[in-house]
């Protein structure tokens, strides 16, 4: 007899498959970043277009933002000053930004694991959207940007 996963277990599996676990859809976010050098991460397909580095830091920020809403932590504690899209700071290395993404994923995952099933239906946004909605959304966000990074890698190869 097999056991049925709880809603929290299903959300954790969704988060993990979108970020760093094997899944049927192909490359996840962490996999799309594997092997990218700092120079490759900084490449832009055109002026004012996002780089892989921009996208990785953006993904880390939104993992933080969802976790903050789930835990009701105050704003302003993200490791990088600003929100959403961040200007390039030479003081931050590519390795540091990848580590930050991993840390934010781990922290988000812990916040989701600490939820009670009833918390999933708790409204967290002014429009009534729930904790479950936000967790599903951040997993989809990872997958969207994984595809975007895969496209940037192909475009960069063509531009050489």
Q: Is the CB of residue 142 less than 8 Å from the CB of residue 18? A: yes
18-51 pLDDT, tens digit per residue, is 999 988 888 999 999 999 999 999 999 999 999 9
- Note the CATH number of domain 7-159: 1.20.120.450
122-152 pLDDT, tens digit per residue, is 998 889 999 999 999 999 999 999 999 999 9
Read off the pLDDT band of 100 (50, 70, 90): very high
- Coil vs helix vs strand at 55: helix
Q: Which two tokens stand for residue 79?
A: 């490791």
1 pLDDT above the threshold of 70? no
Mean pLDDT computed over every residue of the chain:
94
Q: Is the CB of residue 131 less than 8 Å from the CB of residue 115? A: yes
């Amino acid at each position: 007899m097999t056991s049925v996963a709880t809603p929290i277990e299903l959300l954790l599996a969704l988060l993990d498959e979108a970020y760093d676990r094997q899944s049927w859809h192909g490359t996840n976010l962490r996999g799309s970043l594997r092997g990218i050098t700092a120079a490759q991460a900084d490449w832009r397909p055109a002026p004012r277009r996002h780089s892989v580095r921009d996208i990785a830091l953006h993904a880390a920020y939104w993992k933080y933002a969802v976790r903050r809403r789930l835990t009701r932590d105050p704003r302003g504690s993200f490791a990088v000053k600003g929100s959403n899209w961040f200007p390039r700071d030479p003081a931050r290395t590519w390795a540091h930004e990848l580590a930050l993404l991993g840390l934010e994923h781990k922290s988000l995952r812990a916040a989701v694991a600490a939820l009670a099933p009833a918390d999933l239906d708790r409204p967290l946004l002014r429009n009534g959207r729930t904790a479950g909605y936000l967790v599903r959304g951040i997993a989809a966000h990872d997958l969207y940007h994984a595809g975007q990074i895969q496209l940037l890698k192909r475009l960069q190869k063509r531009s050489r």
